Amino acid sequence: MKIVIAPDSFKGSLSSEEVAKAIRDGILRAMPAAETVLIPMADGGEGTVDSLVQATHGHKISVPVRGPLQNEVMASYGVLGDGITCVIEMASASGLVLIPEEHRNPMLATTYGTGQLIRHALDHGYRSFILALGGSATNDGGSGMLQALGLRLLDADGREIGAGGQALSHLTQIDASKWDERIIHESQFTIASDVTNPFVGPQGASYVFGPQKGATPEMVEALDAALTNFADLMAAHTGIAVHHLPGAGAAGGLGGAFQAFFPASTKRGIDVVIEMTKLNEHLQDAELVITGEGQTDAQTASGKAPMGIAQAASKLGVPVIVLSGSVGQGTEKLYEYGMTSIHSIVNGPMTLQEAMSRTPELLTQKAEQVIRTFLAGRKKEV
Ligand SMILES: Nc1ncnc2c1ncn2[C@@H]1O[C@H](COP(=O)(O)OP(=O)(O)OP(=O)(O)O)[C@@H](O)[C@H]1O
Ligand SMILES: O=C(O)[C@H](O)CO
């Protein structure tokens, strides 16, 4: 029996590859002869490069860049197995995990390092890009990324504005005279976005994702106003108003900067990962798919990895079992999208810290249990 194991990471505990291996161990305990296919997933956020590089037998290139708070960090981008397509994961250069919680500051954090990764790839001859958006520490509307690629963002005195979302409130002019021409004339970009939120407003980048990056309610208001100013000026300059465009609010508004200045099409991150990992081909003759994520709740329906997998698998009539660290509110409607059953791996009262440190063992145990049940349901030995 072929079982596809296609989980997202458990943020704060395990990478998607580690999750997949722990699930495989449990499956093999219950069914030693099972054929397992491990396809670590991602949704545009952290782990997207690893997932696509592994699935396509590509490689990674490391580059020192300016981190979200200007300190140097070692970031990397992926070159897929075709040797042509680059995957730029913004979280690698400008991600939340790069900053300890007490130092997070979306007023100052910049996407400059993401722009440096793109420039490095352009300098090395690459012209086909997947831009993976999510898991950012930033709320700068992608301004740092644009600056790294030659765009000049100026205040009323003609001086470059500083780094971060806050500085966008002083922006009055955009000067594209030094903009990297290779972007428009020679390259193509697919944006793989972990969310579809707009650039500004109550559902926008600042209000919805600012708080997880350390923004207080006052900062959220200031950041939303600053992004609105930026969106107004981008619209005047490019003719593209990103204010309410779906996905423009991904990665602190980086999605909006790409939509305004890059020849790019926007897709759900999970759909790009499903396509590049050829998940559908693997599902064709599978009898079951097991997916999972750190927390499954109402948010899962808005395009998280297990949701995309359930949609793909249900079209092919393959049952989908979801194993998650915690199962929150609002999961009932997920069954309508093709999830067969959803399980928390926690097996008794314990703290979050304990659950997170015991994730591999708990995953293996739960996978064994669900496979035993699955086999019993088939009424005959396989
Ligand atoms: N082993 C675990 N046991 C219990 N809860 C866990 C475990 N691992 C992670 N979590 C919970 O899941 C949360 C992370 O959820 P998840 O991994 O789904 O990422 P996310 O923040 O929803 O982002 P995304 O799905 O876009 O990557 C953690 O903050 C924690 O509350
Ligand atoms: O980076 C972020 O702001 C979130 O992951 C949404 O894209």
Q: Has residue 262 got a pLDDT over 60?
A: yes
Do residue 105 and residue 133 come from a single domain?
yes
Q: What is the distance in A from the centroid of ligand 2 to the CA of 133?
A: 7
Domain check: are 295 and 181 in the same one? no
Give yes or no: residues 125 and 69 share one domain: yes
**47 CA: nearest ligand 1 atom:** 27
In whole numbers, what is the pLDDT of the chain averaged over residues? 96
Let me know whether 121 and 251 are in one domain.
yes
Q: What is the pLDDT of residue 381?
A: 53
13 Cα–ligand 1 center, Å: 8
DSSP 95: B
Judge if 11 and 117 occupy the same domain.
Answer: no
240 with 344, same domain: the answer is no
Angle at Cα 22 formed by Cα 365 and Cα 48, nearest 5°?
140
Q: Residue 187: inside a domain, yes or no?
A: yes
Confidence band for 201, pLDDT divided at 50, 70 and 90: very high
Kind and range of the H or E element at 85? strand 85-89
Q: Give me ligand 1 centre to Cα 212, in Å.
A: 13
Closest ligand to residue 133's CA: 2
CB atoms within 10 A of CB 290: 30
CATH assignment at residue 155:
3.90.1510.10
Is 292 exposed, middle or buried (CB count within 10 Å of its CB: 0-12, 13-18, 19+)?
buried
Element (H, E) at 342: strand 341-344
Final residue in a domain of this structure, among 216, 235, 270 = 270
Question: Which residues line the pocket of ligand 1, CB cutoff 6 A?
Answer: 8-13, 43, 45, 134, 194, 293-295, 304, 325-326, 346, 352, 355-356, 359
Q: How far apart are CA 90 and CA 145, in angstroms?
A: 10
C-alpha triplet 207, 213, 214: angle, nearest 5°: 90
Closest ligand by atom to 299 CA: 1
Given a cut of 70, whether residue 223 has pLDDT beyond it is: yes
- The answer to whether residues 290 and 309 touch, using CB atoms and an 8 Å cutoff, is no
Q: Give the separation between CA 133 and CA 146, rounded to whole angstroms.
A: 15
Question: Which strands, in side-by-side order, build the sheet including 188-193?
Answer: 59-66, 72-79, 85-89, 128-133, 188-193, 264-268
Domain that holds residue 172: 48-270
List the residue whose alpha carbon is closest to atom 2 of ligand 2: 251
The pLDDT, as a whole number, for residue 183 is 98
The per-residue pLDDT for 380 is 62
Which ligand lies nearest the alpha carbon of 91? 2
Ligand 2 atom having least distance to the Cα of 95: 1
Distance CA 296, CA 314 (A): 18
Confirm whether 382 is domain-assigned.
no
> What separation in angstroms does the CA of 17 have from each of 7, 9, 29, 47, 260?
8, 8, 19, 9, 35
Residue 221 lies in a domain: yes
- Give the residue, by CA position, lying nearest to ligand 1 atom 4: 325
Query: What is the C-alpha R_g of the chain?
Result: 21
Q: Which phi and psi (to 5°) does residue 3 adopt? A: -125, 125
pLDDT at 339 over 80: yes
* One domain for residues 195 and 124: yes
Q: Cα(286) to centroid of ligand 2, in Å?
A: 33
Question: pLDDT per residue over 107-137, tens digit each?
Answer: 999 999 999 999 999 999 999 999 999 999 9
Q: Do residues 26 and 82 share a domain?
A: no
- 43 within ligand 2 shell (Cβ under 6 A): no
Domain closes at, from 220, 251, 270: 270
Mean pLDDT (whole number) for 251-271: 97
- The response to whether residue 17 sits with its C-beta less than 6 Å from ligand 2 reads no
* pLDDT of 328 over the 80 cut: yes
**Residue at which a domain ends, from 249, 270, 291:** 270
Instruction: Indicate the top mutation candidate among 326, 353, 354 to test ligand 1's pocket, ranked by most ligand atoms within 8 A of CB.
Output: 326
| pLDDT value for 175 | 97
How many domains does the chain contain in total? 2
DSSP characters for 242-257? -TT-TTTTGGGGHHHH
What does DSSP assign to residue 225? H
**What pLDDT, on the 0 to 100 scale, is given for residue 382?**
53
Residue 134 CB–ligand 2 contact under 6 Å? yes
pLDDT at residue 12, rounded to an integer: 87
Of the candidates 264, 239, 237, which has an alpha carbon nearest to the alpha carbon of residue 250?
264
Q: Which residue out of 10, 43, 347, 365 has the highest number of ligand 1 atoms within 8 Å of its CB and is therefore the one to mutate?
A: 10
Q: Give the Å distance between the CA of 230 and the centre of ligand 1.
A: 32
Give domain status of residue 204, yes or no: yes
Sign of CA pseudo-dihedral 171, 177, 182, 188: positive
Res. 299 pLDDT band, cuts 50 70 90: confident
